[in-house]
Structure 1
Amino acid sequence: MSYVLDILLVETSISEEGYGFNSNQTAAFTISQWIGLFIAEIYEHFVGDDSIPLSLCRRNKNIWKQEYRLYRTAAPAMILPICLGLFASSLQYHLHWVVLALGSVLIFAAGISMVPIIMNYLCECFPAHASETSAIMSVHRLGVGLSTTFFAPP
């Protein structure tokens, strides 16, 4: 979800099943995305080290597999569908804007906390092409982020 999508969701008038925010309220609503970013940073601080993958490696007779890194994405991947459901249901049933903001916070926290783990995994899978892998992943994320607004209804 991008800033433009936020404008489409919260600045729609109340008669059209929107929230009727003005531009200042929409700008304040984007603070929820910053809060999600800070939650992701805190999650990465405590889970981001390699303690989980290294303990899995020790359990497997010190045989390293790149997939051990992906175990750290389990918690965000499990809460992401719940967050998306909360966000979508708040839009569908026109719940209070705080519920919408909570869904936005959790979506950003879950999504952003998985990005560095997956990037690290991909660069470790292709060590000879780490810069190309990083560039492709960045272009993909940018393309998906920018194209989101094209699929929003008018």
Structure 2
Amino acid sequence: MSTYMAFVYGILYLLFTTFTFVFEDAYGFTQSNVGLVYIGIGVGMLLGLAVLGSASDKIAIGMAKSHNNGVIKPEYRLPALVPGGFFVPVGLFLYGWAAEKHVQWAVPLLGTLLVGIGIIVSFMCVQTYLVDAFTVHAASAIAANTVLRSVFGAVLPLAGLKMYSKLGLGWGNSLLGFLALAMCVVPFFFVRYGERIRTNPRFQVKL
């Protein structure tokens, strides 16, 4: 789950490297106005935060009542990530090809909005899952998660401009989109097998 979150985090910073040349060169934004394009991701994150923030506990409590006599398992924090994770690849495809074809600037911004929704859903679901799964060791789990995603956030953008110069915005973002689509398997896997892995004696910490 930390690898999944780190990949999504890296995509966020990789997108940031493209905004200036995309909206200045392709759409004629001035240097003072190009900073406004970050609003797309920001609005997406706010929307995702509002929806998931109000629904997360309800989903977990509902699943606990239906499947586990009212006891909430850490895996009950992940179902929202199953559909939420698809916002990232869909947003990347929309952003990349709209910018490649010079479609009206609101369309690629809509793509970044969808990416923002997917990113905040990923962050919230993974963080709450790690806290619930590791209990007294949650601080260490979150720290490890932070280190890994910081590495991805630092390294992936270094390859961004070279990738886009080789593949273009359309196929460059499609490559990221296909990788993000493949990573959507991770939440399915942990919803189904997370408890089996988590309770395996090999992974139990002896105090």
TM-score, with length taken from structure 2: 0.63
What count of residue pairs does the alignment treat as equivalent? 148
**Residue segments in structure 2 that go unaligned for 5+ positions in a row:** 1-11, 163-207
Look up the match of 2:23: 10
Where has structure 1 moved over 6 Å in runs of 4 or more?
A: none
Instruction: Give the Cα separation in 2 of the matches to 1:147 and 1:28.
Output: 25
1:113 counterpart (121, 131, 149): 121
One-letter code aligned to 1:9: V
Q: Which moved more, 1:104-113 or 1:84-93?
A: 84-93
Identity of aligned residues (%): 22
Secondary structure of the residue aligned to 1:141 is helix
Look up the match of 1:95: 103
Look up the match of 2:4: none
Matched, 1:55 2:62: yes
Please give the residue correspondences for 1:35-50 in structure 2 after superposition, counting only pairs within 5 Å: 35-48=43-56, 50=57
Task: Check 1:31–1:39 CA distance in 2 against 1; reply closer, same or farther (3 A cut).
Answer: same
Matched, 1:144 2:152: yes
Instruction: Give the Cα separation in 2 of the matches to 1:39 and 1:21.
Output: 26
Structure with more contact order per residue of length (Cα contacts < 8 Å, sep ≥ 6) = 2
CA contact (8 A) 1:5 1:148 kept: no
- Structure 1 residue 118 displacement after superposition: 0.8
- Structure 1 residue 130 displacement after superposition: 0.9
Instruction: Give the Cα separation in 2 of the matches to 1:84 and 1:94.
Output: 15
Secondary structure of the residue aligned to 1:24 is coil
Secondary structure of the residue aligned to 2:161 is coil
TM-score, with length taken from structure 1: 0.82
- Structure 1 residue 73 displacement after superposition: 1.6
